[in-house]
Structure 1
Amino acid sequence: MTSAGDLLIARPKRFELPVWAVLLGLLLRWSWRAAWWCLRHPVATGTAALALTLYVEYDWPGLVVPVVLLSAASAVWRWRHESSWWAWLAGPLLGSLRRVFVYRRVWREAMTLCGLAATYDHRTVLPELLAVRSDQALDVLTVRMVRGQTPEEFQNVTANLAYAFGRRHARVYSECPDEPPTRSGRLGWLLRAVDRVRFRDRPTVVYLVLVRTDALRTVVPPFPVPTVPDFTALALARREDLRTWSLHLLATHVLVGGATRRGKGSVLWSLVRALGGGIASGLVRLWVIDPKGWMEFAIGRPMFARFACKSFEAMADLLDEAVEVLRERQTRLAGVVRVHTPTEADPLVVVVIDEMAALTAYLQDADLRKRIASSLGLLLSQGAGVGVLVVAALQDPRKEVLPFRDLFPTRIALGLTEASQVDMVLGDGARNRGALADQMPRWAKGVGYVILDGTPEPIRVRFSYVTDDDIRAMAVQHPAPVDAADILAQVGRETATEPARVPLPRRPSGPLLPESLRNLLDRDNGGERR
């Protein structure tokens, strides 16, 4: 205590640690951090320890020889099975390098400027970058959100995040974007247990997918035509991660929205090609409406059981017949099954409409337009369960043009002219979640956004390009059977010339029903196979 005139100053006695105690505390602190880092990075720690051991024992040859042998083994692995090479070696290694040298270097700046940083107790809190996994085209960043954040906050700044990291395209997923693989074999039980941890639900984590290399710039060749189509997985397009996107067609309706010259034909012809094997066997019947007057679908006419292209009355009759098929199946299947199973005797009917607006908005005959709208409303609201499906394409998705667009469970958005049209096609909020269909470049014909089953986040795909020669070859190899148009008696038949149909051998098989179940059904029907 000191005194300066009338001012009395009191100072507490300072406790000073000795220098050796301070140094010991810092040493313990740094040792703990180093040990914790080693525990969090066992692969890097083990690799460094092994390299040091080899160098001490064998000098430089101890490092060079293993590197050469591992490189040779890696090259052979990639040559024999590239997908597993990326999944187990190249992907994790490249992701670890990019996490340190690319993303962590600018992480604080990017999160702050994109508005994802928060302040708590006068301290800036950032989302935590947990891991980075790479493949041939994508970087998948696993990010732990700040407490109180939601995935929507990341989805609203998807474009900002893409450009912040020097990319043009990005997606934000609230759940893991990869699907758990199917495990089998002796170690299947162990791999399934690992997958339960790897693909578990993590509400505090979001996945930021950055497109490093745009795999959709190249034209996608047509996919092989399966002999028996799988209606739950029809291969139509290539995804950004180079995997195949497949359409689940069974018990759904499909709406394709896109401006003119944006590749709607690629979507429709890819679907027709995927159904080619079922068309030839009689498992699928295509009823096609082409209001453009032969311009799009006439080249594949032998594959269609019904085809209307000249008269709007004939198009209305075709839709009325589809409603008759719907009513007949409802009466026959009521109380038996809830979802129709396609067979050759009771095939799947797919009504394909190239330009829906020509029937619902631009048709001048008001009575005929109401008649078509009534049939379409019944088909869309009741036809999925009985195997009468509608696949429609249009350019203008406004409610005035297509009043029942909400009845299409499956939607595909190609290049559109306005930002508001993206939400009209894919649903509210789709554009904020990364579906920038209104910003498609000129080269992106056949590139569009789709919604994965069970997740609200859109993904970007490119549909295969089916040339005129491919269509002609399909029409020759997979024509519809002679009796393809005789599901019901024809009403107001289209005046278009019917193609010459060659009778094909019919294999009595039900592709989607096991033989044991077919035998059981035959026994219940008195032994009569339909």
Structure 2
Amino acid sequence: MVMKTPLVNFRRMSVPTPWWVVLTLAVPLLLFRLCRLVVRNRRLLPEVAAVVVLVWAWAEYGWAPLLLGASLAAGLVGLWLWRWPESCRRWLVLPMLSRWRRLWAYWRQWDEAMTLCGLVKTYDGGRKVPTLLSVRCTYATDEVRLRMPRGQNPEIYHKAGSNLAYSFGSRHCRVFSGRRTSPPIRDGRWAWLLRLVDRVRFRDRPRHVWLVFIRRDPLTQVVSPLPVQARPDFTALPLGLREDLEVYTLRLLATHLLIAGATRMGKGSVIWSLVRSLATAITSGLVRVWALDPKGGMELSIGRPLFARYCDDDWPAMADLLDRAVAKMRERQARLRGKVRVHTPTVDDPLIVIVIDEIAALVAYLPDSELRGRINASLALLLSQGAGLGVLVVAAVQDPRKEVLSLRDLFPTRIALGLTDRAQVDLVLGDGARDRGALADQIPLTSKGVGYVLLDGQPEPARVRFSYISDDLIRDMAATFPAPAEPQSVTVHTYRPSPRPASGPLLPSKLRAALESTQDGEAA
């Protein structure tokens, strides 16, 4: 006989809760969640408010007033864009584009793209997604600022740059771990207060990363020559345009510059853009350019009047010119020792810029070993000691390998134009430069003058197109800004080739003397 167990009904004990307790606990919790939702999506409040106002106006007055108001607003915007286009784009078009791109292109698919690109972290059963902070549109780029989850570093985003670009409908994505803009210079009565505000606004945020998506490539067009500065700033010489259409400025003071690029990739554009930016200083005597063109003058001879000293077809004269530069550097060392650490250019004591179009022809390809060793020694001294003394070297090279250019590491500033090998990118710009976006080996032949440079304070390379200086413009510059005569006051050793042994078979000295005496007797 089977015993049946009676079913036991378990019920939770229900305690009635007074209504005032429910309101006391639930209402603050709901308000807290609502405030948190508003704070997290505060950048969408203008759009939400605009939609609410439009819906209320349509329900209250109908569609006719809305159509009339839209037509009036469009007319005012059109007038603004016609009469003052720059201010309209700055204050209306670009901010509206930034809001639209943030909502439609990024916020809508942010979670999906971050997950598929492998940038989402998991912790304690939850997902940590990079936080989208802001989107700023320029004429050609979208600058997306995000905050990384804990446990990540910018190198992860560098490696995922290509995936991020195609995920958001772009072909290129540059990743920057530093702030894109610098604090403004404040002056006036309230400058002290604004500096305090800037100290908070522009403080260092290591977890913030900037993703720069290229909507359109602004560097496909040739960059026109930039205006000649009345008073050149040696810490910011304009040479071309960056990818965000900002002017790229080069710091030349107290540094040496190496320009690496394959043949016909625009090394001349960099050199002549630099010379053009120094034109007024050249003609005033504040800067003296000493030019060496080992290719027989095919590049630099067209601007000969711009150069205080010039050599193109005499190898010993080139070595003598570098020796004069070393002597000038030594003279400044003795005069400035213990007084200053960086030379200040003056007309009486000018900045000397030594421009070498193909440095490998001097340090690697020169057949005379003695002359080549002398040039290498002079360049090593100039590159290691001349920057602070105002004797600077600007050199161009096609092959930056160590066995060709052993002095490569002595150039603090480097520019990588189109290269033939991906390994050469890291040789020029440093290890890991290509992984950080410097695709110099992928620059097509149609993009002459396009290259990658390292900006001050940023480990990520920037893409730049240097201005194109035509031959006619170079001739005009040479006629308008000629260099004053160079005083020949520095005496140096003049190179003379060492005597070579007489050609012919190797004979003992006594036998050779007997043969020579016999020949002399026959001749007599």
User: TM-score band, normalised by the shorter chain?
Assistant: 0.7 to 0.9
User: What code does the residue aligned with 1:488 have?
Assistant: V
Paired position in structure 2 for 1:502: none
Q: CA deviation at 1:82?
A: 4.9
Aligned length: 488
Paired position in structure 1 for 2:505: none
Seen in structure 2, the aligned counterparts of structure 1 residues 357 and 60 have a Cα distance that, compared at 3 Å, is: same
1:472-491 to structure 2, matched below 5 A, reads 472-481=475-484, 483-484=485-486, 486=488, 488-489=490-491
User: Any conservation in 1 of the 2:416–2:452 contact (CA below 8 Å)?
Assistant: yes
Please, which moves more after superposition, 401-410 or 40-49? 40-49
Paired position in structure 2 for 1:239: 242
User: Any conservation in 2 of the 1:38–1:45 contact (CA below 8 Å)?
Assistant: no
User: Any conservation in 1 of the 2:358–2:395 contact (CA below 8 Å)?
Assistant: yes
Instruction: Indicate whether 1:393 and 2:392 are aligned.
Output: no
User: Any conservation in 1 of the 2:177–2:208 contact (CA below 8 Å)?
Assistant: yes
Paired position in structure 2 for 1:171: 174
Q: CA deviation at 1:186?
A: 6.7
User: What code does the residue aligned with 2:129 have?
Assistant: L
CA distance in structure 1 between the aligned counterparts of 2:5 and 2:483, rounded to whole angstroms: 111
Instruction: Indicate whether 1:274 and 2:277 are aligned.
Output: yes
Deviations 1:330-365 (A, max 9, x none): 111112221111111111100001111111111222
Q: CA deviation at 1:92?
A: 2.7
User: Among 352, 362, 383, which residue is 2:386 paired with?
Assistant: 383
Secondary structure in structure 1 of the residue aligned to 2:271: helix
User: Any conservation in 2 of the 1:306–1:485 contact (CA below 8 Å)?
Assistant: no
Instruction: Indicate whether 1:462 and 2:472 are aligned.
Output: no
User: Any conservation in 1 of the 2:323–2:492 contact (CA below 8 Å)?
Assistant: no
Please, which moves more after superposition, 456-465 or 169-178? 169-178
CA distance in structure 2 between the aligned counterparts of 1:395 and 1:323, rounded to whole angstroms: 25
Q: CA deviation at 1:61?
A: 5.6
CA distance in structure 1 between the aligned counterparts of 2:70 and 2:489, rounded to whole angstroms: 68
Secondary structure in structure 1 of the residue aligned to 2:245: coil
CA distance in structure 1 between the aligned counterparts of 2:106 and 2:463, rounded to whole angstroms: 23
Paired position in structure 2 for 1:527: none
Paired position in structure 2 for 1:201: 204
Paired position in structure 2 for 1:299: 302
Instruction: Indicate whether 1:426 and 2:429 are aligned.
Output: yes
CA distance in structure 1 between the aligned counterparts of 2:133 and 2:286, rounded to whole angstroms: 49
User: Any conservation in 2 of the 1:305–1:485 contact (CA below 8 Å)?
Assistant: no
Seen in structure 2, the aligned counterparts of structure 1 residues 186 and 160 have a Cα distance that, compared at 3 Å, is: same
User: Among 351, 362, 366, which residue is 2:365 paired with?
Assistant: 362
Paired position in structure 1 for 2:143: 140
TM-score by length of 2: 0.85
User: Among 222, 225, 231, which residue is 2:225 paired with?
Assistant: 222
CA distance in structure 1 between the aligned counterparts of 2:47 and 2:410, rounded to whole angstroms: 53
Deviations 1:218-258 (A, max 9, x none): 00011111232211111101011111011111111101111
Seen in structure 2, the aligned counterparts of structure 1 residues 373 and 491 have a Cα distance that, compared at 3 Å, is: same
Q: CA deviation at 1:5?
A: 5.5
Secondary structure in structure 1 of the residue aligned to 2:348: coil
User: Any conservation in 2 of the 1:286–1:306 contact (CA below 8 Å)?
Assistant: yes
Instruction: Indicate whether 1:116 and 2:119 are aligned.
Output: yes
Seen in structure 2, the aligned counterparts of structure 1 residues 4 and 204 have a Cα distance that, compared at 3 Å, is: farther
Paired position in structure 2 for 1:105: 108
User: What code does the residue aligned with 2:271 have?
Assistant: L
Q: CA deviation at 1:319?
A: 0.7
Q: CA deviation at 1:384?
A: 0.8
Tell me the percent identity.
55
Secondary structure in structure 2 of the residue aligned to 1:330: helix
Paired position in structure 1 for 2:262: 259
CA distance in structure 1 between the aligned counterparts of 2:9 and 2:250, rounded to whole angstroms: 81
Deviations 1:175-212 (A, max 9, x none): 21122333456776665555444332211210100111
CA distance in structure 1 between the aligned counterparts of 2:91 and 2:3, rounded to whole angstroms: 75
CA distance in structure 1 between the aligned counterparts of 2:201 and 2:60, rounded to whole angstroms: 38
Paired position in structure 1 for 2:12: 13
Seen in structure 2, the aligned counterparts of structure 1 residues 111 and 475 have a Cα distance that, compared at 3 Å, is: same
Paired position in structure 2 for 1:405: 408
Deviations 1:2-25 (A, max 9, x none): x9967988866397999x99xx99
1:19-30 to structure 2, matched below 5 A, reads none
User: What code does the residue aligned with 1:395 have?
Assistant: Q
Seen in structure 2, the aligned counterparts of structure 1 residues 479 and 289 have a Cα distance that, compared at 3 Å, is: same
* Contiguous gaps of at least 5 residues in structure 1: 494-530
Deviations 1:281-323 (A, max 9, x none): 1111111111110111110011111111112211111111100
User: Any conservation in 2 of the 1:96–1:131 contact (CA below 8 Å)?
Assistant: no
Q: CA deviation at 1:397?
A: 1.1
Q: CA deviation at 1:30?
A: 8.3
User: Any conservation in 2 of the 1:138–1:210 contact (CA below 8 Å)?
Assistant: yes
Seen in structure 2, the aligned counterparts of structure 1 residues 421 and 16 have a Cα distance that, compared at 3 Å, is: farther
User: What code does the residue aligned with 1:13 have?
Assistant: R
Q: Which has the larger radius of gyration?
A: 2
Q: CA deviation at 1:173?
A: 1.0
* Contiguous gaps of at least 5 residues in structure 2: 496-524
